[in-house]
């Protein structure tokens, strides 16, 4: 299939598909006219790549993880992939911890603002002075 059909079948733009190829995440063959042609398996591959991007992985990390899919019986590849996945999990855990800290700080500000608004709503109106 050509790039337009792969794009339609996966919902991924042709530009992104070309980027995936540049990063070594996806391969195609070329026609004599230079058009990209993909196998039917490319649909599943692009779907997996999208899932990994959605999980917050960079193209560099995805390139490290994909060989485990391509060469499932290679222990060295499996070990390298495991290490990369654990590193990504640790990064995600750190991001989550940071987000929780940020949310807690925001909660403190929200409570302070709520108290301030309550004080303002019960305060007497200032009297205008005549000049």
Residue given tokens 């996966």 in the structure block? 10
In terms of Cβ atoms closer than 10 Å to its own Cβ (0-12, 13-18, 19+), residue 26 is buried
Indicate the pLDDT class of residue 131, thresholds 50, 70 and 90: low
pLDDT at 72 over 90: no
The CATH number covering residue 30 comes to 1.10.1660.10
Q: State the Cα–Cα distance between residues 102 and 73, nearest whole angstrom.
A: 43
Q: If residue 30 lies in a helix (H) or strand (E), which one and from where to where?
A: strand 29-30
pLDDT digits (tens, 9 = 90+) for 14-50: 999 999 999 999 999 999 998 999 999 999 999 999 9
pLDDT at 81: 87
Are 25 and 63 a contacting pair, CB within 8 Å? yes
Does residue 130 lie within any of the structural domains? no
Percent above pLDDT 70 for the chain: 98
| Full residue range of the structural domain in which residue 113 is found | 3-122
127 within domain boundaries: no
Q: Considering its fold, how many domains does the chain have in total?
A: 1
Q: Is the pLDDT of residue 100 over 80?
A: yes
**128 located within any domain:** no
> The dihedral of CA 50, 20, 43, 70: what is its sign?
negative
């Amino acid at each position: 299939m050509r790039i337009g059909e792969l794009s339609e079948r996966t919902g991924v733009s042709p530009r992104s598909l070309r980027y995936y190829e540049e990063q070594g995440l996806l391969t195609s063959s070329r026609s004599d006219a230079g058009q990209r042609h993909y196998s039917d398996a490319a649909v599943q591959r692009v779907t997996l790549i999208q899932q990994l991007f959605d999980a917050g992985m960079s193209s560099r990390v995805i390139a490290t993880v994909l060989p485990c899919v391509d060469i499932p019986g290679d222990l060295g590849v499996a070990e390298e992939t495991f290490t990369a996945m654990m590193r990504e999990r640790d990064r995600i855990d750190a991001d989550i911890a940071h987000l929780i800290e940020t949310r807690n700080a925001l909660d403190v500000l929200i409570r302070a603002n709520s108290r301030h608004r309550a004080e303002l709503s019960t305060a007497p109106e200032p009297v205008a002075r005549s000049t």
